[in-house]
Amino acid sequence: MSDLYKIINDRISLEKIGYNLNQLKRLQEFHLSLNNHLYNVESFKQVKKEPFFTTYIKSLKFLPSFQHFGLAQYYLYIYPKNFDKIDLKLLFLNTFQKVICPASIEKTNPLLIKYIMPQKRPNKKYINWLKPFQLREFCLFSVIKIHCLLQFDRNLDKTGWNFDYDKFKEYVQNILFNPEFKTFTSPKREFNLSDQTMTSYFSPDSSEYKALTNIYNHKSIDIKSYLSGKTLLKEQQITDLLKKGLIFPFIKLKNLDFREKLLIIIPNISIKAKKSLIAIFSYFNYGFIYEIEGEYFITEFENKITFEDGLMVKLYFPNSKFRHSDLFLELFDYIFQWLEVKQYIYLYDYVNGKRILKSIFKDLNFKKYNPLKNLKWNHKDKIWMNPKIFTDKFEPIYPDLYFSEKLINSKQS
């Protein structure tokens, strides 16, 4: 834990907190027209020099339009009763991207694992093989739409952050009980990951797929570091994928004191409740609202439940400025009760679980590891195939973390 505190304190010490409202307004405008700025590399070079950019933008990352490649972004929230009974190599497979876990030290903690998997065909073999008595709960879901929040129209003035509980409560009451209330939400960017209109996918032999694997492995590169004229190949690949709508760029912030994170997973809700919750959580300044679909299981259930409408909400708050946080969580509970949301999960005080990955995959080279290259393409059906993880006798088969690299080497030999 001392290493964790050191990492956090080092990160805090590097921040130069400041609130220039004019520059923040410029930042918000840049966020809303981000794609247009990135299309023109020469124009972008000039924007990078502006005070709002140098002061508040830590990095520019992106999310691929996985559906165009026959893939999807999946998450697995899992809370085993005993991790000693879980084969973590089979759980993580060879397409994991990231794992987060609570910062507290407990014998058994929940994990949230992020994956890339075939569209509509996630690899559930190990989850299905686990017995219900081995799990407290799990929720496996894919992302179908993202609402990207970044606004400074409320909760902030020239003296700093001020999250007023009473103002938020009034806002919530108007949304829930006042049909004449016109929801004031700042414009936000949205990104569709649904495959409903897809008739074909870019195969691994396509220039688009090859370009994507050059700029995205288990995570995105920082776009702002490459749109500089110094790396022409990657620069061209980024702009081409942007113009084709195959990647969705977003901003990671700095110097605004965003150090507290709250993650809420809300499966199986009505369309009306989903619409209300999106409006309610759009009140906050920085974060992401994910529309999701999938399945979940709780110990009290006899069977797992599938759902088509749900949400995952990721919100960032300034350190020690989210006053009355317990009151806010109590109000969230009330909102869920009123909207007849029966199951939801709060995750807070969580950290990157890279050490967990290193303990499982001791020789893993994160620079070489790329889950986009670890699935097998079915040339006949034009779909991705999940790796086999059990023999006929249900003995484990651990998927190769460098599948494509070894496949190339075997062909050459």
Q: pLDDT class for 1, splitting at 50, 70, 90?
A: very low
Q: pLDDT class for 15, splitting at 50, 70, 90?
A: confident
Question: pLDDT tens across 44-63, in order?
Answer: 999 999 999 999 999 999 99
Whether 250 has a pLDDT exceeding 70, the answer reads yes
Question: pLDDT tens across 350-399, in order?
Answer: 888 888 898 999 888 888 899 999 999 999 999 999 999 999 999 999 99
Dmax over CA atoms of the chain, in Å, equals 71
> Per-residue b/e over 254-265, b at no fewer than 16 CB within 10 Å?
bbbbbebbbbbb
Whether 324 has a pLDDT exceeding 60, the answer reads no
Question: pLDDT tens across 205-215, in order?
Answer: 999 999 999 99
For residue 185, the model assigns a pLDDT of 64
Whether 413 has a pLDDT exceeding 50, the answer reads no
For residue 105, the model assigns a pLDDT of 58
Mean pLDDT of 186-202: 84
Give the total number of structural domains in the chain. 1
The average confidence (pLDDT) of the chain is 89
For residue 7, the model assigns a pLDDT of 47
Q: pLDDT class for 132, splitting at 50, 70, 90?
A: confident
Rg (CA), the chain: 22
Query: Which of 80-94, 126-140, 265-279, 313-327 shows the lowest per-residue confidence on average (mean pLDDT)?
Result: 313-327
Count of CB atoms situated within 10 Å of the CB of 213:
17
Whether 412 has a pLDDT exceeding 50, the answer reads no
Query: Smallest Cα–Cα separation from 250: which of 58, 61, 29, 55?
Result: 61
> Which domain, by its residues, includes 170?
1-413
